[in-house]
Amino acid sequence: MLEFIPDRPAFSNDQHSTVDVVVRINPPAAPQRSQRERVPLNLALVIDRSGSMQGEKMDLTRKAAALAIKSLSEVDRISLVTFASEVETVVASTPVVDKQRLVQRIEKIQAYGSTALFPGWQAGADQANFALRKGILNRLILLTDGQANLGQTNPDPICSEVHRWYQKGLQTTTMGFGRDYQEDLLRAMAGSGGGNHFFVETPEQLVRYVELELDGLAATVGTQVRLKLEGLSFEPLGEVQGSAEDGYRLADLTVDFPLELLFRVTVPPGGEPDSGLTATLEYLATGSGELERIRVPFALPRVSAAERAQMPLNPDVDRKLQQAMAAMAREEASRAMKKGDQAAATRILKQALQTQNLPEADRAQLSQLQKTVELGDANATQKMFSAQSYAYSRGSVVLGAVEDQLLEGWLAGEAVPIQYAPFMREGPPATPELSRLQGMLAGLLAGAGPDSQAGVLSLATLRLVNGANRFLPWIGSFCKALAEAPVSRPWNSHREFQLRVGEGFLTCGARSADCGSMVRVAPLLLTRYKRGGAGFWVFLIMGSHVTHIDPAASVCSLAWARLLWELACLSSPPPGSFYWERFADTLRQCQRDTPCNASAPRYDGWHGTPLDFLSTALEEARSNGRSFEEARADWAAGPQALEASATALYLLECHGHQPPLAMRLATAQEGDREWLGALVGGALGALHGSWQLTDEASAAWSDFSARL
């Protein structure tokens, strides 16, 4: 759980040396619990309803609060306090039983008046205190868009009180909305309260940031985390919370998300071979509330300085050094903007972004900050910097930026071969009936066969998601679950993925251009049922990307998933042109210019974008009046992403209104079942919902639907 990672695996014995060391904390696995058995949450929402929150801000704040209530269960407690010129307890601390009544109370909140921030926080803490107890997750979320101007406004006594409650077990997370809040105060309150700090830059971010905070809580296995080092002389590289004397305060332990701090250790020459550091980690385990203490020594063998210099640099330490440099660049750019030197801030960030080994998440953060700097907004720059550096100082990922990093950051880089599109800012506009999604899964299994690769991986995904619908607990274990699923007839791309799975979810996907990721996107749609938001697209994009990195496979998977969802929302079968029009709309927005190759003999040597190929192939079939069987023979269709997409789309175009015939054609050739049967079966099931689940799938579905 606690490990030291040195830059090189030895100390020097003949001269002073500095050793850069990453201290990594790997959170323990979460106990297997049902929704009713999980660790309860005692949540207090404290919301600014002053006059500046009128309009869209207040509308989305009510929506975010309602989402929080809908995400909880009867084992949890909720309270809601609002503040303006006066403080009002809208919902006194109560079990989350009658959700409809609680949401109705929220819908009546109106904005007016000044900003009594600290009195509002105090009232929220008092409400949380009614249910405050050891072993559960006690969290207060404060949301404000303005300056504290009534009651206590001095940060020092405010933070002292926040810290006093933190010591009692109540953590405070702060969310600053817009350009006018006091980032220094909110960051200090989060630091004193052991919670997260978010910069909510745009109104549409608010709902998903509240959701991410709740996702983080669902995956939390330890709170009040503190790390202390003893022994050799050392200094942290980069900003930290706490001190060497009292220990460094870290973010909560969240399943599958390690915490890391980087230290520079000074090692004198000579000495005992095993002389080094000792790290002590302390945290309160969720569930039991007991203090856990882990003590781990760190020492290395000694070699000559010349021998040590020849040893290769550990890539994990190099990565962390690049992160530290990125953090320094953020700070320098922030200082430059404070001085009004936009040109210098832009230059600093551009130079930092040229770092070759900079991790994609950090590159995404710098890119976001650079965009804000280029707008000339010093206020927003400082707030974004404050939120990013706060998370770095606690050794954690920026929870509030996870989705934005994936969509606007990683998609802007080279890691994910898809172009960012405006529709990704929000989830789909409509939500289908659950029975239609059940039909989609049933159709996939009926077409491909339950023992096919598509069937096995789809059920593995459904069991993993299992109704939790939460981003953070899901993504860390997804690759492993797919790799270990008992596929009896794996495709070559799946074998490649199994060999690469240890490389991490951004890079372990196969380089194959087959449709393996397309045939298993159906259960990924279930992960965000009724939740929408940018997270909807995160699940789809990353869920397909983990097994396939090829540009054609990635963009066709996204287009197919989007088509399936729209089919499930229709009240009647669409015209034949609908399938290609909706698929093409996604390609136009999301495909990269990277040329793709077709493998069908008719198009031997062809290369271009997926949109180019599919437009050409489908238009030729239509203009020549080809039947589906004739077109399939022309294309020598197989499981490659381009040919598979053309074949499935043309079959639906010709016979989507005739489900029995379409299914017979999709499964007429045994070799087609595992790809064409899966694709067409899923689409027909989403549209018509006429297939029944197998017993095994029915059990998994029942477990899933019971926990929605």
**75 lies in the same domain as 192:** yes
- Confidence band of 507 (pLDDT split at 50, 70, 90): confident
Cα separation, 155 vs 253, whole angstroms: 28
Cβ-based neighbours of 612, under 8 Å, separated by 6 or more: none
Question: Which one of 185, 218, 251 terminates a domain?
Answer: 218
Domain containing residue 598: CATH number: 1.10.4080.10
Predicted pLDDT at 469: 44
Number of domains comprising the chain: 4
Q: What is the pLDDT of residue 524?
A: 86
What number is the average pLDDT over the span 375-404? 72
How far, in Å, CA of 273 to CA of 259, rounded? 29
Domain termination site, one of 376, 410, 444:
410
Q: How is 230-280 classified by DSSP, letter by letter?
A: EESEEEESS--SEETTTEEEE--EETTB-EEEEEEEEE-SSS-TT--EEEE
Residue 405 has pLDDT above 80, yes or no: no
CA 143 – CA 124 distance, rounded (Å) = 12
Contact 175, 143 (CB under 8 A): yes
In a domain, 420, yes or no: no
Here the contacts of 658-667 (C-beta below 8 Å, separation 24 or greater) are 659/684, 659/687, 659/688, 659/690, 663/443, 663/446, 663/447, 665/628, 665/629, 666/447, 667/447
DSSP assignment string, 5-22: EESSS-EESSS-EEEEEE
The three-point CA angle 76-80-82 to 5° equals 165
Write down the pLDDT at residue 622.
93
Q: How, if at all, do strands 137-144 and 87-95 pair? A: unpaired
Q: Report the CATH number at residue 260.
A: 2.60.40.1670
Residues 233 and 307 in one domain: yes
Note whether 467 and 547 are same-domain residues.
yes
Q: Which position has the token pair 């882990």?
A: 294
Query: What does the buried/exposed string (b/e) look like for 250-260 if buried means 16 or more CB atoms within 10 Å of the residue's CB?
Result: bbbbbbbbbbb
- Same domain for 555 and 604, yes or no, is yes
Same domain, 660 and 532: yes
What tens digit of pLDDT does each residue of 219-241 get?
788 888 889 988 888 888 888 88
Q: Which of 111-115, 184-188, 281-285, 350-354 has the lowest mean pLDDT?
A: 111-115
Residues sharing a CB contact under 8 Å with residue 535, sequence separation 6 or more, in sequence order: 208, 211, 403, 427, 471, 528
Share of the chain above pLDDT 90, in %: 20
How far CA 559 is from CA of 211, 269, 455, 579, 586, in Å, comes to 26, 61, 20, 10, 5
Q: Which residue range forms the structural domain that includes residue 161?
A: 41-218
Residue 368 falls inside a structural domain: yes
The verdict on 107 and 153 lying in the same domain is yes
Residue with more model confidence, 565 or 701: 565
Average pLDDT over residues 566-582: 94
Paired tokens of 110: 């109106």
Compute the average pLDDT of residues 351-367: 76
- Span 209-216, average pLDDT: 74
Would you place residue 506 in the very low, low, confident or very high pLDDT band (cuts 50, 70, 90)?
low
User: Of all helices (H) and strands (E), which one includes residue 221?
Assistant: strand 220-231
The two structure tokens encoding residue 368: 């976001």
Beta bridge partners of 21: 6, 263
Question: Residue 181 domain-assigned?
Answer: yes
In a domain, 444, yes or no: yes
Domain assignment present for residue 528? The answer is: yes
Q: Is residue 521 assigned to a domain?
A: yes
The answer on 17 and 53 residing in a single domain is no
Answer whether residue 319 is part of any domain: no
pLDDT at 36: 47
Q: Is the pLDDT of residue 161 over 90?
A: yes
Q: Could you report the per-residue pLDDT of 70-128, keeping only the tens digit for each?
A: 778 888 889 989 888 888 898 898 888 888 888 888 888 887 777 788 899 999 999 99
pLDDT tens-digit series, residues 581-627: 999 999 999 998 888 888 777 777 788 899 999 999 999 999 999 99
Q: What is the pLDDT of residue 575?
A: 94
Same domain, 473 and 591: yes
In a domain, 438, yes or no: yes
More confident residue, 644 or 241: 644
CATH code of 137's domain: 3.40.50.410
Q: Are residues 401 and 254 in the same domain?
A: no
247 plus 286 within the same structural domain: yes
Same domain, 650 and 662: yes
Q: Are residues 203 and 67 in the same domain?
A: yes
